[in-house]
Amino acid sequence: MRDPLHEYMCDIVPHLARGKVWCFHCGNTRSVDSAACLRSGWPKCCGETMSIDSPEERATLKAKEGGHA
C-alpha cells in the first residue's frame, strides 16, 4: 500500500529519492524503496541500520566537523 506522505518525503529529500543505503562497516550498498523503508524500517548490515548518507557524504561531514574520515 502506497502512502502519499512517505512518497512526498522521498520526492523532496534527495538522499531518500536516490533509493540507496550504505553500510558504515563493510561498505555494502543496497537499492531500496525509500518510502517502504520509512513505513517498515531500514535494512541492516553488519548488525546495524544502513545509512542514507554515502561514504563520500560522511567523509565531507566529518571534515566539516573537524574530524577525520
Mean pLDDT by 10 residues, the chain (69 residues): 83 95 95 94 96 93 77
Residue whose grid cell is 548490515: 45
Element (H, E) at 18: none
> What is the structure's pLDDT at 30?
97
pTM, to two decimals: 0.80
> What is the structure's pLDDT at 23?
96
Sequence-distant (≥ 6) Cβ neighbours of residue 44 within 8 angstroms: 50
> Are 48 and 17 spatial neighbours (Cβ–Cβ below 8 Å)?
no
**Cα torsion 2, 44, 16, 39: sign:** positive
Residue whose grid cell is 533509493: 19
